[in-house]
Structure 1
């Protein structure tokens, strides 16, 4: 039977071949002989093109009735503008009812405050209040314009000059908001096609600046110089042909607010010079804090400030003001005045805040004992907290940000954070000590483990430090015992 079927198919193919090869199946068009095969293939092509040109949906011949329209509208469910609210998002932070000094009022009771980065204790300082009052009387509250459009006031120029003089740099530039300094300065210098090597623990302001620059971003392990060198070496080898047209940067924090660790700037500068990169250093938490006179990480590591290409800092920490600044060479500063979005398009810093920053630097210059008191408080609390059950100190010993992490993580970042928030909540309710966890928003892509942060101030007394240490030991032991 199989043989008979094969014979029939062969016979049919033979007849079809003869039909297509017959003279009647051939034609001559413009002198070109077209066989039956070409005719059939051309016909199929026309059919395919016709089908492709037809609409996939034909509207109904009659218009929809009002009821049909209403039914379609009732069935349509628009996408939510925001993600669903989870339990983690339903968090209300404590509300201060006083200034955020070493002691504050929360819910009507006095607490010892370790949640504010008031490193030098300048919040509520008499001289700062007097300078702000006189500035408000002279200039008013705001500037009502960007720096390039009648927003520049003489006190802005005085503040820029004072910062540059204090740090020993040629020039500096003021920004209206601390975070905008970082995510405006980075895109002003780094563009698409450039390469930025950044520490994986940098804060969100730097992360956003890296994103806005559209540069190629390479992260190295937190404060790991071997990881940094490996990243630099790989980039140099893979991009040797583009070296002349490509700008390359190393971006680090002097004092990481996500870990409390201090960057080894001397080693970073050596790698920078070896592989020919530029360095952008954020001194937001180290300005006014590190070094024997508070000039930051360059003084702390004994590195000449001109070795660093760009230095940025927020003024809302040690100086107890607001805004930020970038300092460096005159060319670096002048470039930002026309190309940095946060400077060009934002209303300039309120004059009284610029005056407060100048006064704060003057006080620091005249009172070096403030740094000695801060360092003594840092060493004392670091030592006291080194024996807390279930927690370990992850920060550097000279860091005024004491960072506590779980000795035995649960394996889930959410569970770790929930456990730490329980400790922080009980510290406030039972011990009247306010601290914070390193809780991050959905925008923050920091890869470091979560922990509890205590910001030490020169205004804290020895009894404040002992109370905090005893309270944390007591509450942590209780929480871990319940687990």
Structure 2
């Protein structure tokens, strides 16, 4: 056998002279060559058998779409009303005093308003048969829009079929990606939903804190100067009277900041309409602010006016833009005509019975003075607000524990004292959930002796629950 001939350069090769990274690269090259030389792998294309499919289905555990129910949610039983939720209503076959509904002027069950609705049903039928742009516009819709604009002193208004959808439609109609919104962190869920749908940059200021609002506005202006940003659409969003806390927004100060920093203002005045102001025209009238200083006013009609639906009032340009860009206006069936008729009747009734506003404020004072004296509870809300929140004076270990105690008070008040109350309920996706509370709404339709008796009964109920 002949001897193996080895090249001379290999015989004289010094392995120690090769740097380490060369060896690493050589190994990696060999690994790559190895994988390239392998045959491609194809998984079995055989379809699964019925037995295998059944086994996979049995083993599959889906993730829950919502968080698990809390103990409070499992045990909560909503009261069943028989009839309209007026000043007095029937629950479980028993007449009770209603302190839960935001029927601020006592219009639920008003014969004059009910007759207007019945007459509209006989004339127009029940439904409107489509969105406003598709055979859903009826003369009474335009009559109501004109009535609302004249009532508030704006150039025009636009009607939506559902109160909660009003802010959710108005905000995305004007604000898009790249725009800026400065909003109160205590705004209700309908506003929060509109902020999300707009895809705008949203910054929140502390609830009803004007110093924090100005801090944010000033920061925006300073950032613009540093980075020379292109000017975009900018809005301040707030409520006139916050349903989550019963606090009144200092509208005069907000308008001052709006003018100082060149922002637009969108105000949700759902709780203040028919409540604040000498004639019930809401926050602008209460604060003596020209309505032109508020670019858009959104309101739900389901509170003081005891109807359904909502509207946005403002300039002609702001309203006309929503007729093509307001999603709730373009794609939802329009407000049933009889509800438009009842709203018109409610406005007429308020304008001819201005004493309702003074009676409402009197009832607010009576109830607030009584509720503030209940041991173990703390009263939240401004003195002129018909929405009041009762919280535990001593916070519990958790919100769930507080909620259970408050719900026990509500349940006992219904059972033992014939008082219809409700606890606050917040969605898990809301930005800020305030402390659990009993929300109480007072009406001009309540009598003084009823409110005095309600406070006395609630004191007894609270004492019985909290001593356990």
Asked if structure 1 preserves the Cα contact closer than 8 Å seen for 2:363 and 2:443, the reply is yes
Q: Deviations over 1:289-331 (max 9, x none)?
A: 1001000000111111100011000001111110000000000
| Post-superposition offset of 1:53 | 10
- 1:207 maps onto 2:192 in alignment: yes
1:6 match: none
- Of 274, 278, 282, 2:264 maps to 278
2:15 match: 16
1:196 match: 181
| Post-superposition offset of 1:395 | 0.5
Asked if structure 1 preserves the Cα contact closer than 8 Å seen for 2:144 and 2:343, the reply is yes
2:4 match: none
CA distance in structure 2 between the aligned counterparts of 1:334 and 1:438, rounded to whole angstroms: 36
Asked if structure 1 preserves the Cα contact closer than 8 Å seen for 2:426 and 2:433, the reply is no
CA distance in structure 1 between the aligned counterparts of 2:456 and 2:13, rounded to whole angstroms: 100
- Of 110, 117, 121, 1:125 maps to 110
| Post-superposition offset of 1:413 | 1.4
| Post-superposition offset of 1:234 | 1.5
Distance 1:60 1:474, change over 3 A: same
- 1:340 maps onto 2:334 in alignment: no
Asked if structure 2 preserves the Cα contact closer than 8 Å seen for 1:200 and 1:448, the reply is no
CA distance in structure 2 between the aligned counterparts of 1:52 and 1:259, rounded to whole angstroms: 70
Q: What secondary structure sits across from 1:272 in the alignment? A: helix
- Of 335, 342, 351, 1:365 maps to 351
Asked if structure 1 preserves the Cα contact closer than 8 Å seen for 2:72 and 2:403, the reply is no
Q: What secondary structure sits across from 1:281 in the alignment? A: strand
2:61 match: 77
CA distance in structure 1 between the aligned counterparts of 2:83 and 2:440, rounded to whole angstroms: 19
Q: What secondary structure sits across from 1:239 in the alignment? A: helix
Higher deviation after alignment, 59-68 or 195-204: 59-68
CA distance in structure 1 between the aligned counterparts of 2:133 and 2:401, rounded to whole angstroms: 49
- 1:173 maps onto 2:158 in alignment: yes
CA distance in structure 2 between the aligned counterparts of 1:135 and 1:67, rounded to whole angstroms: 62
Distance 1:128 1:46, change over 3 A: same
Q: Deviations over 1:337-359 (max 9, x none)?
A: 00110100011110111111111
Count of residues in Structure 1 that have an aligned counterpart in Structure 2:
455
Asked if structure 2 preserves the Cα contact closer than 8 Å seen for 1:147 and 1:348, the reply is yes
CA distance in structure 2 between the aligned counterparts of 1:333 and 1:109, rounded to whole angstroms: 46
Distance 1:242 1:415, change over 3 A: farther
2:70 match: 86
- In structure 2, stretches of 5+ residues that fail to align are 1-9
| Post-superposition offset of 1:72 | 3.9
Asked if structure 1 preserves the Cα contact closer than 8 Å seen for 2:86 and 2:98, the reply is yes
| Post-superposition offset of 1:447 | 3.2
CA distance in structure 2 between the aligned counterparts of 1:158 and 1:429, rounded to whole angstroms: 45
State how 1:235-384 maps to structure 2 within 5 Å. 235-240=220-225, 241=227, 244-384=230-370
State how 1:98-247 maps to structure 2 within 5 Å. 98-240=83-225, 241=227, 244-247=230-233
| Post-superposition offset of 1:39 | 9.8
CA distance in structure 2 between the aligned counterparts of 1:222 and 1:174, rounded to whole angstroms: 29
CA distance in structure 1 between the aligned counterparts of 2:285 and 2:47, rounded to whole angstroms: 78
CA distance in structure 1 between the aligned counterparts of 2:343 and 2:70, rounded to whole angstroms: 40
Asked if structure 2 preserves the Cα contact closer than 8 Å seen for 1:417 and 1:439, the reply is no
TM normalised by structure 2 equals 0.91
2:3 match: none
CA distance in structure 2 between the aligned counterparts of 1:48 and 1:459, rounded to whole angstroms: 88
State how 1:41-56 maps to structure 2 within 5 Å. 43-44=29-30, 46-47=32-33, 50=36, 55=41
- 1:97 maps onto 2:82 in alignment: yes
Q: What secondary structure sits across from 1:252 in the alignment? A: strand
| Post-superposition offset of 1:87 | 2.2
CA distance in structure 2 between the aligned counterparts of 1:13 and 1:235, rounded to whole angstroms: 74
Q: Deviations over 1:127-176 (max 9, x none)?
A: 11111111111111011111111111100000000000001000000000
- Of 429, 433, 441, 1:447 maps to 433
Q: What secondary structure sits across from 1:387 in the alignment? A: coil
| Post-superposition offset of 1:450 | 2.0
| Post-superposition offset of 1:92 | 2.1
Asked if structure 2 preserves the Cα contact closer than 8 Å seen for 1:176 and 1:323, the reply is yes
Q: What secondary structure sits across from 2:72 in the alignment? A: coil
Q: What secondary structure sits across from 2:14 in the alignment? A: helix
TM normalised by structure 1 equals 0.88
Q: Which has the larger radius of gyration?
A: 1
RMSD: 2.6
